[in-house]
């Protein structure tokens, strides 16, 4: 695959100077073919606006990275956590490969600053869009796989994910709070929880949501998050804590 050269006349739409080396340091991986990394960082908006400066964009890499990530996470959970059941591994995997977690990891790595974007996407805050940076991280994982092999990319993923995996397990699977609340409310009250949007603030690419969870139309708890899903999960977590104390379940 040919290497792609940065566009020296459009600094804002290119990885920052020295950015590739910094990004490789965050990944704990040095690319043999830098062109693979640059292609993984190339958004379709850049490709369409500057067709002569890029021969491809990162959506194929994203597709590959999604598959590699799913396999690696499954492998890690199976080998590193023998006490997990099939159901627990399935739920954990769904949580760990979700756009929400990918975006969180990408944000921590500040991946947005390295992406090659078209001017339109740049002006609409593309570097801060959760879906865009999450997709880019998947593309980078695909590029690492193409540049090395499965064992190497699995180690990269383990490095990126270790704190998140440990936190999820130690906090008793935060991804399952909504299901647990649903099952508990059916058992105790023969009803299902209802989630209501209380407020949303911030720019389109950086919103904060507040949800309340209700039982029998009565507010039980609230939760805040950078996505609706996160806010609802946090509300469910708070509701479980309230129920545990109220019903002496702990």
- Annotated binding residues for Mg(2+), written as ranges, equal 62, 135, 138
Q: Which residues are annotated as a binding site?
A: 62, 135, 138
Q: Which residues pair with 224 in a beta bridge?
A: 210
Nearest to 195 by CA among 240, 226, 235, 246: 235
SS3 194: strand
Nearest to 67 by CA among 173, 177, 2, 142: 142
How far, in Å, CA of 136 to CA of 69, rounded?
13
SS3 111: helix
Strands (E), the chain: 194-201, 208-215, 218-225
Give Cα 76 to chain centroid, integer Å.
Answer: 17
Burial of 79 (0-12, 13-18, 19+ CB in 10 A): exposed
CB-based contacts of 9: which residues, under 8 Å, 6+ apart? Answer: none
How far, in Å, CA of 137 to CA of 125, rounded?
17
How far, in Å, CA of 223 to CA of 174, rounded?
13
SS3 8: coil
Q: What residues are labeled active site? A: 66, 138
């Amino acid at each position: 695959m040919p290497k792609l050269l940065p566009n020296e006349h459009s600094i804002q739409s290119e990885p920052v100077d020295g950015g590739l080396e910094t990004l490789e340091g965050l990944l704990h991986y040095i690319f043999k073919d830098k062109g693979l990394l640059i292609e993984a960082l190339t958004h379709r908006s850049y490709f369409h606006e500057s067709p002569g400066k890029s021969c491809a964009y990162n959506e194929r890499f994203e597709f590959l990275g999604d598959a590699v990530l799913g396999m690696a996470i499954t492998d890690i959970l199976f080998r590193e956590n023998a006490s997990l059941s099939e159901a627990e591994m399935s739920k954990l995997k769904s949580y760990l490969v979700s756009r929400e977690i990918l975006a969180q990891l990408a944000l921590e790595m500040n991946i947005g600053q390295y992406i090659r974007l078209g001017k339109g996407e740049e002006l609409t805050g593309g570097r801060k869009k959760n879906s865009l940076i999450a997709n880019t991280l998947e593309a980078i994982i695909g590029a690492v796989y193409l540049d090395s092999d499965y064992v190497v990319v699995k180690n990269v993923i383990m490095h990126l994910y270790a704190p998140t995996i440990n936190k999820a397990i130690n906090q008793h699977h935060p991804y399952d709070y909504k299901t647990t609340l649903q099952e508990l409310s059916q058992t105790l009250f023969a009803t299902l929880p209802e989630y209501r949007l209380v407020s949303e603030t911030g720019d389109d690419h950086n919103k904060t949501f507040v949800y309340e969870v209700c039982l029998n139309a009565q507010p039980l708890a609230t939760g805040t998050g950078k996505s609706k899903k996160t806010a609802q999960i946090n509300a469910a977590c708070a509701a479980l804590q309230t129920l545990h104390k109220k019903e002496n379940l702990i």
